[in-house]
Amino acid sequence: MNRYPRDMQGYGRNAPNANWPGGAHVAVQFVLNYEEGGENNILHGDAASEAFLVDVLGAAPWPGQRHANVESMYEYGARAGFWRLHRMFTEAALPVTIYGVATALMRAPAQLAAMQDAGWEIASHGYKWVQHKDMSLDEERSQIAEAVRLHTLATGSRPLGWYTGRSSLNTVDLVADYGGFAYISDTYDDDLPYWKVIHGHPQLIIPYSLSTNDMRFVTGPGFDNGEEYFQFLKDTFNCLYAEGQAGSPKMMSLGLHCRLVGQPGRFQGLKKFVDYIKTFDKVWVPTRLDIARHWMQEHPYTAPKVTPSLLPKDEFVTRYGSIFEHSHWIAERAWESELAPANDTAIGLHFALRTQFRMATPEERLAVLRAHPDLAGKLAAAQRLTADSTAEQASAGLDALTDAEREKFTALNNAYTQKFGFPFIVAVRDHDKASILANFEKRLANSAQDEFDTACAQVERIALLRLKAILP
């Protein structure tokens, strides 16, 4: 069974209304990453110096050596940048979520006290500010546990939010398995929170953003100065605010770093943005934990009635084998092909089934056409149609024909079948008796190939309508 694990579907065109407090059009959430003292350093037992997110052009790890310039840049974040940001946010009375690296918090008693005095949320940013992609499952699992232990020692309570940042493919699952987290943020895939089922248990995901992250001051393409940064934040806010006014409120995440936006010239861009959003009403500025609690209340997890891509073969074929009339082989082939979360809706599953129908040989597709009953024919009179066909024909009133109408349908059925070799097929839910008869007479004039193509298209349309009746 080939199952594609990535979710390319999401909320689709039907995103839920976030219903932010006070009818806010947008939730603007500030994250301050506190990593200073938790970065790669041989003093911390690491193999090399840090080289990530610093103002050293072309920085590279130095194996077995300390890097004085990089270390001092991280120290700037703790010594100066943090306090500049702390003053601004406390004076503006805006809440902040700290992504705190556990080992960094253990080396920052004054900064930690200031965070707690301000009432900021302190979420976990992992044990150390290091790369996780090459860690074994056991090593990463151990680091998650140690991060929670140290975080609890430092702050007095365990973290309820998690963001690794330099994560592996296993990070989200491992953190969810550890348990007890109100949210995990190691994704960048949406403008709204969402629920993800991990090993049978629902976990709230609150996506983060790197497009609005101040890391782009030291990565390319990025921001050259505070004014460019401000303009990008302003444009992002304006777009999301307008969508909220139109009835689709979203979330804007800003990721900050003490050693980056804490620099004076960059800081001015952030300050301008804070001043800008304060001129608007209906803007909610929460912590990420506030967002999590709101989402749990307004949009609690609801298990789907069925998830097609996760069904065993027998159940999948039982449920969807009749979508294409008497052609279970289409469902069997679809199950054996690549299925993913994108195939768990009516449109998505229709695409998977339709693809198998289109890939079939002309003879196989002809057999599907011949599996369909005549409209208002002998099978209908004998009540031997499938449940779907019975309901569809009844929807157009074909179960209540006058004698004259029945004779006309019989004559058209005979003429059509004699000419093309398969029954006349039309998505009757799109029609009434009059338009069905008009289509019948019009299509009798088609060439054999044109009518084969038309009938196949109608078979696909019938399948879509059947799926829309049972799936989102």
Share of the chain above pLDDT 70, in %: 97
Q: Which residue in 68, 102, 70, 96 sits closest to 82, CA to CA?
A: 96
Span 390-399, pLDDT tens digits: 777 777 667 6
What is the spatial distance between Cα 389 and Cα 263, in angstroms, rounded to a whole number?
69
Span 326-384, pLDDT tens digits: 999 999 999 999 999 999 999 999 999 999 999 999 999 999 999 998 876 555 544 55
Mean pLDDT of the region 432-449: 91
> How much is the pLDDT for 2?
85
> How much is the pLDDT for 94?
98
Q: Is residue 131 over pLDDT 60?
A: yes
> How much is the pLDDT for 382?
44
Query: Angle, nearest 10°, between helix axes 448-468 and 346-359?
Result: 150
Please enumerate in sequence order all residues whose Cβ is within 8 A of that of 261, keeping only pairs 6 or more positions apart, or say none: 81, 85, 214, 217, 229, 267, 269, 270
What is the spatial distance between Cα 303 and Cα 10, in angstroms, rounded to a whole number?
15
What is the spatial distance between Cα 73 and Cα 36, in angstroms, rounded to a whole number?
9
> How much is the pLDDT for 400?
66
Q: Are 35 and 257 in contact (CB under 8 A)?
A: yes
> How much is the pLDDT for 1?
58
Active site residues: 372
Span 256-289, pLDDT tens digits: 999 999 999 999 999 999 999 999 999 999 999 9
Average pLDDT, the chain: 94
> How much is the pLDDT for 221?
82
> How much is the pLDDT for 378?
54
Rounded to two decimals, what is the model's pTM?
A: 0.91
> How much is the pLDDT for 104?
98
Six-digit token string for 207: 């996506």
Span 189-247, pLDDT tens digits: 999 999 999 999 999 999 999 999 999 999 988 999 999 999 999 999 999 999 999 99
